[in-house]
Amino acid sequence: MGYNVMDMQTQLQELAALPKDAPYGLSGAFYTDPDYFEWEKKTILHNGWHCLGRADEIPNVGDFYTLNLLGEPIIIVRSTTDTVQVLSNVCRHRGMPVALGSGNAKRFVCTYHAWTYGLDGDLLRSARMKNAGFDAEKCGLPEINSVVWNGFIYATLNDDPVAFAETLNELDNLISTYEPEKYRLVHSASEVWHTNWKCLVENFMEGYHLSVVHPQTLHGYTPTGLSRKGPSGAGFTSYFANYPDQASPRGHGAAGLSDEERRRSTLFAAFPTQVCSVAASLLVSLSLFPLAADQVEVRWTLSTYGDDLDADTLESRVALWNEVNREDREKLELMQAALSSKYATGGPLAEDDYEGTVRDFQTWLAEQAQLTA
Ligand code: FES
Ligand SMILES: [Fe+2]
């Protein structure tokens, strides 16, 4: 059954206009309808800045990895010591991907007819191309707008994007004391979840479910009852998952952190597709790559600050986060199937400390929809 995307836009604006103390969630169709997903792909997702990973995943010149960003094959490469570039991974000759997987390259050689590109995308070699109409200078791999911010790599498919800083400057105030750019990568993984990308954003960003879904893994440190709404701004929202008084410290982290900052995890969403938890010694970031209305690739990284945590502790943190993600995934995949119900009309949301972030996301979605109307 196809829904009318225009009707859904009207519904979204109506929801966003509800009084602050009477918020309602989106109805199921927003998470299940293929036409709505296609609309999102062409608009809010196409225009958004997407976190692709951590800059220290590619520490050396020539280090690269490849991804598919909303159907676009891309290469993320360290092209000089201090430059990360995002390039189209489509050969300018006849369209072969020029890089596969990840690794280190001196240049990218297409496996079809051996056109050879520099790390910056310039076409360096193209044997036997003697036709008058051929101009090597016009056949470089297009560069995709990207920026490195706090150690994260972001890119947008929009060739004339909203300035990155405009959307996240205020978030910088919230997390810069943790010195996010100094965390070093410990673990990364990628998996496909059968859920809508927005369900995952909402799930990661609300503290309401913590004690229910994660009784063994998270409740002891970040119980629902201690969740507090954090600041929100043009392109983000946040909440604080506070640790109970009796919980022992979990690493010292950056010198400038307050005691309060050391005794909580700060969770933020950089809309549309990054959700992240930053704490004194641990940073966990999920990059979401929507594949279909009911499918999203989740690429997550776990990084640590300094030498606070020994190898065994880090290993147990990775295991813990694997388990937390499994617990969330199980719920979200069950919910996805139910969201197709005609009775999934969108229910009332809890107050700000527990689900205010869900409301912030909804407001952002409604604003984006208006911008593209
Ligand atoms: S398609 Fe790449 S060299 Fe022909
Ligand atoms: Fe969760």
Domain CATH for 115 = 2.102.10.10
Domain housing 13: 5-47+171-372
Which of 75, 98, 115, 134 is the pocket-test mutation for ligand 1 (most atoms within 8 Å of CB)?
Answer: 115
Tell whether 198 and 145 lie within a shared domain. no
Tell whether 93 and 43 lie within a shared domain. no
Domain assignment present for residue 157? The answer is no
Domain assignment present for residue 163? The answer is no
Tell whether 180 and 317 lie within a shared domain. yes
Region 320-347: mean pLDDT is 97
Residue 360 has pLDDT above 80, yes or no: yes
Tell whether 60 and 42 lie within a shared domain. no
Domain assignment present for residue 26? The answer is yes
Domain assignment present for residue 105? The answer is yes
Instruction: Kindly report the pTM of this predicted structure.
Output: 0.97
Number of domains in the chain: 2
Q: Note the pLDDT tens digit of each residue in 7-47.
A: 999 999 999 999 999 999 999 999 999 999 999 999 999 99
Tell whether 227 and 250 lie within a shared domain. yes
Tell whether 198 and 104 lie within a shared domain. no
Tell whether 123 and 188 lie within a shared domain. no
Q: State which residues have CB under 5 angstroms from ligand 2, the bound ion.
A: 328
Question: Which pLDDT score, from 0 to 100, does residue 145 have?
Answer: 98
Domain assignment present for residue 158? The answer is no
Tell whether 115 and 184 lie within a shared domain. no
CA distance 60 to 74: 19
Query: Residue 91 CA: which ligand 1 atom is closest?
Result: 2
Say what angle helices 352-372 and 5-16 make with each other, to 10 degrees.
130
User: What sign does the dihedral 220-331-297-365 (CA atoms) show?
Assistant: negative
Residue whose CA is at the smallest distance from ligand 1 atom 1: 94
- Six-digit token pair at 314? 């880090």
User: How many C-beta atoms surround the C-beta of residue 111 within 10 A?
Assistant: 11
Sheet of 274-278: strand order equals 184-193, 295-304, 282-292, 274-278, 264-270, 236-242, 227-229
